[in-house]
A and B are shown apart, each in its own frame.
Chain A
Amino acid sequence: MTISAGGVCEPGTTKNNKTGGWRNYKPVFLYDKCIKCKLCELLCPDEAIDPREDGFFEYNYDYCKGCGVCANECPVSAIEMVLEEK
């Protein structure tokens, strides 16, 4: 690998690094409980929650590390953490 002058990186390229493999517990939306408050999307430290056209959200499991902040903060307990099985 050669290092460019000044060590310049292309923007937004850590997307090559699929951090989803770190996960022990997987968050799952219970859509019948979700009130679309968007809090989970706002808090996610890994930007792993994407909006859907219908106003609900979905996980991007390529990057979700399973920290559980979303499930812990959800005001209506609409996110369940499920043990990951590989």
Chain B
Amino acid sequence: MKESLFCSGHSGCPGCCDAMISKFVLRGIGENCIVSTPTGCLEVMTTPYPDSSWNVPWIHSLFENAGAVASGIESAWKAMNKDDDTKFVVIAGDGGTVDIGMRSISGAFERGHDITYICMDNEAYMNTGVQRSGATPYDASTTTSPAGKESFGNELPKKNMPEIMAAHGSPYVATASLAYPKDLMKKAKKAADIEGPTYIHAHAPCTTGWGFDTSKTVEVGKLAVQTALWPMYEMENGEITQVRKVKNPKPVEEYLKLQRRFKHLFTKEGGDEEIKKIQETANFNIKHFGLQ
């Protein structure tokens, strides 16, 4: 049996997005890293005491302070004059990043620690039962933004976290997706090699929370990119330097219809109008990022 940095036997759901992203990140960065993970699915499924799925040094922070914990590890390492090429990596969910960990990641980036922060964005709090987060997209149904007679689900647009991190003066910010593993591995390596605080926001389709078949994790991820709802780009020192082109963007319905969280858009009266609004978001992305 092969040896992996992120090993088998974890209790992630079949087709788990977090497991895939963690595996790709470690394959990209290699064994010479120390990983911090705040509370979330990834922490729970990979470290049921006394076991661990990690074959690299790994620490669980609180939900709110992964940025501070990684900063502390990096500072201590440097204070000990360890003159080597160890990378300091955070792998966190969207709740632990855009909501609860916001203050801590902001502080780490402001102070300029040499860390790489990977946000696996499955667009809700999946570990506790699919509650809405600041990263939940418009019209997605979650247990705290349920679609029903009076509502089409989440009423607010998604928080633009990559832009917020770029505004901190980060030398490298990128978006990625588990559906493009080689691209994600390359970006993770690049982010880790660049000095200073770097950030990757990775799209993570969640079979359980979004409601699609376990075999379709990658398919749903690809459709998000192909419909221009998930633009893939790199920003260096605040400027967009690379964009993944989408030649013939597909209509957003193709992405939405695979997922239970958007099912109401196809069954409820007025759903057509809502789908048009989501299509406008895709059209904005195509124009704003120059995807074509």
Given A43-B181, A46-B8, A51-B2, decide whether A11 and B54 contact each other with a Cβ distance below 8 A: yes
Query: Chain B residues near A46 (CB, 8 Å)?
Result: 8, 10, 12, 19
Shortest Cβ distance from residue B166 to the other chain A in the assembled complex, whole angstroms: 29
Give B179-236 interface residues, CB cut-off 8 Å to A. 181-182, 207, 213-219
A60–B20 CB distance below 8 A: no
For residue B4, CB closer than 8 A to chain A, the reply is: yes
Shortest Cβ distance from residue A68 to the other chain B in the assembled complex, whole angstroms: 3
Main secondary structure of the interface of B (DSSP, over half): loop
Q: Which residue of A lies closest to B56 (CB)?
A: A11
Query: Chain B residues near A69 (CB, 8 Å)?
Result: 15, 214-218
B23–A72 CB distance below 8 A: no
Contact with A along B130-162 (1 / 0, CB 8 A): 000000000000000000000000000000000
Given A60-B1, A72-B218, A73-B218, decide whether A14 and B15 contact each other with a Cβ distance below 8 A: no
A48–B215 CB distance below 8 A: no
Give A28-82 interface residues, CB cut-off 8 Å to B. 42-43, 45-48, 50-51, 60, 62-63, 65-69, 71-73, 81
Shortest Cβ distance from residue B20 to the other chain A in the assembled complex, whole angstroms: 5
A14–B14 CB distance below 8 A: no
A15–B218 CB distance below 8 A: no
Q: What are 25 contact pairs spanning A and B, CB under 8 A?
A: A1-B50, A11-B54, A13-B52, A14-B7, A14-B9, A14-B52, A14-B53, A15-B7, A17-B10, A19-B8, A43-B181, A45-B19, A46-B8, A47-B6, A47-B23, A48-B8, A50-B2, A51-B2, A60-B8, A65-B14, A65-B15, A66-B14, A67-B207, A67-B214, A68-B214
Q: Knowing that A12-B53, A18-B9 touch, tell me 16 more A-B residue pairs with CB under 8 angstroms.
A: A9-B49, A11-B52, A11-B55, A14-B11, A14-B51, A15-B7, A15-B8, A43-B20, A43-B181, A45-B14, A48-B8, A65-B14, A68-B15, A69-B214, A72-B216, A73-B218
Q: What are the nearest 3 A-B pairs in CB distance? A: A68-B215, A67-B14, A14-B9
- Write the residues of chain A forming the contact surface with B, with a CB cutoff of 8 angstroms: 1, 3-4, 7, 9-19, 22, 42-43, 45-48, 50-51, 60, 62-63, 65-69, 71-73, 81
